[in-house]
Amino acid sequence: MGIKISGTGSAVPEHVLTNADLEKMVDTSDEWIVERTGIKERRIVKGDNVVTLAEKACRKALEDAGKKPEDVELILIATCTLEEFFPCCACQVQARLGAVNAAGFDVNAACSGFLFALATANAYLSTGLYKNALVVGSEVLSRLVDYEDRGSCILFGDGAGAVFVEPAAEGRGIISVVQGCDGPGGVALHCKTDALDKIHMDGRAVYRFATRQVPVCIEQALQKAGMKAEEVDLFFLHQANLRILETIAKRLGIPMEKVPHNLDRYGNISSATIPVLLDEIKKRGKMVAGNKIVLAGFGAGLTYGACVLVWDE
Ligand code: UT7
Confidence of residue 313 (pLDDT cuts 50, 70, 90): confident
Read off the pLDDT of residues 195-222 as tens digits, 9 standing for 90 and up. Answer: 889 999 999 999 999 999 999 999 999 9
Edge-to-edge strands, sheet with 133-140: 3-11, 158-167, 133-140, 74-78, 103-107
* Ligand 1 pocket test target in 24, 25, 31, 36 with most atoms within 8 Å of CB: 36
Residues 302 and 250 in one domain: yes
What contacts 66, CB < 8 A, 6 or more positions away?
7
Picking from 274, 221, 285, the residue whose alpha carbon sits closest to that of residue 2 is: 221
Count of the separate structural domains present in the chain: 2
Q: CB under 6 Å to ligand 1: residues?
A: 28, 32-33, 36-37, 111, 150-151, 154, 201, 203-204, 206-207, 240-241, 268, 299
DSSP3 helix / strand / coil % (the chain, rounded to 5): 40, 25, 35
The pairing of strands 3-11 and 158-167 is antiparallel
- Between the CA of 207 and the centroid of ligand 1 the distance, in Å, is 9
Residues 189 and 271 in one domain: yes
Rounded (10°) CA dihedral 4, 277, 119, 306: 110
CB 65 within 8 A of CB 81: no
Tell me whether residue 238 is one of the annotated catalytic residues: yes
- Atom from ligand 1 closest to the CA of residue 28: 47
Is the pLDDT reported for residue 311 higher than 90?
Answer: yes
| Nearest CA, atom 16, ligand 1 | 203
Query: In this structure, what DSSP letter does residue 298 have?
Result: E
- Between the CA of 146 and the centroid of ligand 1 the distance, in Å, is 14
Residues 83 and 153 in one domain: yes
* Ligand 1 pocket test target in 108, 207, 248 with most atoms within 8 Å of CB: 207
Read off the pLDDT of residues 265-299 as tens digits, 9 standing for 90 and up. Answer: 999 999 999 999 999 999 999 899 999 999 999 99
Q: Which of 142, 167, 192 is the last residue of a domain?
A: 167
Read off the pLDDT of residues 88-146 as tens digits, 9 standing for 90 and up. Answer: 999 999 999 999 999 999 999 999 999 999 999 999 999 999 999 999 999 999 999 99
Specify the 3-state DSSP secondary structure of 35. helix
Specify the 3-state DSSP secondary structure of 47. coil
Edge-to-edge strands, sheet with 303-310: 173-181, 303-310, 292-299, 234-237
Residues 181 and 286 in one domain: yes
For residue 251, CA distances in Å to 166, 210, 212 come to: 33, 12, 9
Residues 141 and 50 in one domain: yes
Residues 114 and 142 in one domain: yes
Q: State the sign of the Cα–Cα–Cα–Cα dihedral 101, 126, 8, 172.
A: negative
Residues 148 and 213 in one domain: no
**Rg (Cα) of the chain, in Å, rounded?**
18
Residues 110 and 191 in one domain: no
Q: What is the CB neighbour count within 10 angstroms for residue 282?
A: 17
- Residues 19, 108, 132, 268: which is the catalytic one? 268
User: For position 220, which CATH number holds?
Assistant: 3.40.47.10
Dist CA 72 CA 101 (whole Å): 6
Read off the pLDDT of residues 208-257 as tens digits, 9 standing for 90 and up. Answer: 999 999 999 999 999 999 999 999 999 999 999 999 999 999 999 999 99
pTM: 0.97
Is the pLDDT reported for residue 1 higher than 80?
Answer: no
- Atom from ligand 1 closest to the CA of residue 243: 11
- Give the angle subtended at the CA of 98 by the CAs of 94 and 102, to the nearest 5°: 50
Q: Which of 167, 196, 222 is the last residue of a domain?
A: 167
Q: Which of 115, 133, 167 is the last residue of a domain?
A: 167
Residues 158 and 265 in one domain: no
* Ligand 1 pocket test target in 204, 261, 303 with most atoms within 8 Å of CB: 204
- Between the CA of 137 and the centroid of ligand 1 the distance, in Å, is 26
Residues 205 and 147 in one domain: no
What contacts 292, CB < 8 A, 6 or more positions away?
227, 231, 232, 233, 308, 309, 310, 311
Tell me whether residue 91 is one of the annotated catalytic residues: no
Residues 281 and 177 in one domain: yes
- Between the CA of 136 and the centroid of ligand 1 the distance, in Å, is 29
Residues 100 and 179 in one domain: no
- Between the CA of 28 and the centroid of ligand 1 the distance, in Å, is 11
Read off the pLDDT of residues 2-47 as tens digits, 9 standing for 90 and up. Answer: 899 999 999 999 999 999 999 999 999 999 999 999 999 999 999 9
Q: What is the mean pLDDT of the chain?
A: 97
Domain that holds residue 22: 3-167
Helix ranges, the chain (H): 19-23, 30-37, 50-65, 89-97, 113-127, 203-225, 242-252, 263-266, 273-283
